[in-house]
Amino acid sequence: MDREGRVCVGVFDSGIGGMTLLAECRRRMPSLRFYYYGDNGNAPYGGKSKAELLSLSRRVLGLFASIGTDAVLLACNTVTTACVEDLRKEYAFPVVGTEPALRAAAGCENLLVLATAATLKSGEYARLQRERAGHTVCFAPEKLVAAIERNAPFFEKIGMADHLPALHPDGVVLGCTHFVYLKKYI
Ligand code: DGL
């Protein structure tokens, strides 16, 4: 808690992506105090191994622990899918992850899932995909996170056709918090 008795929550992402979640958290829980860590210096996370992601996450969660944070939100699908279980065992405060948005898309026949390569490798995504009745294409736009970081806040400058496959799905899962900024362009 801070000096005024407010519960403190650390919010963490590789860069600006998690700020989309931060904004929603602040709207819904205005009495909490939020600290945000965007690890821009090491972004993007999407091509990193589990060992690298764990090491980067420990550095940030250690920082949150040192300032007395009461809980941490991993506002990053990549870190959640690779590391949430390990991090929950290591820290005394609750560690909340970002759930894959695949469940919400259950009704779509042809679905495009956009996420980072590291996220798509996870067992959770593979399982959810197997359980789906319709057709699913999973795609990791390799350079899109870097383009979002570079162009923010002028997202209209990013040419979607350079990054996305030429498909006409019934629905798209934004499995990376960065991609939420591009919702209307996608
Ligand atoms: N925003 C992150 C996610 O939700 C990570 C993007 C990246 O750094 O590659 O997966």
| Cβ(178) – ligand 1 distance below 6 Å | yes
CA of 20 to the centre of ligand 1 (A): 12
Confidence label for 102 from pLDDT (cuts 50, 70 and 90): confident
Domains along the chain with CATH numbers: 8-96 (3.40.50.1860), 103-182 (3.40.50.1860)
The pTM of the full predicted model, rounded to 2 decimals, is 0.93
34-70 pLDDT, tens digit per residue, is: 999 999 999 999 999 999 999 999 999 999 999 999 9
Q: Print the SS3 string covering the chain.
A: CCCCCCCEEEEEECCCCCHHHHHHHHHHCCCCEEEEEECHHHCCCCCCCHHHHHHHHHHHHHHHHHCCCCEEEECCHHHHHHHHHHHHHHCCCCEECCCCCCHHHCCCCEEEEECCHHHHCCHHHHHHHHHCCCEEEEECCCCHHHHHHHHCCCHHHCCHHHCCCCCCCCEEEECCHHHHHHCCCC
| Cβ(43) – ligand 1 distance below 6 Å | yes
Ligand 1 atom 2, closest CA: 76
CA of 42 to the centre of ligand 1 (A): 11
Q: Is 176 a catalytic residue?
A: yes
Confidence label for 103 from pLDDT (cuts 50, 70 and 90): confident
Q: What does the pLDDT read at residue 95?
A: 98
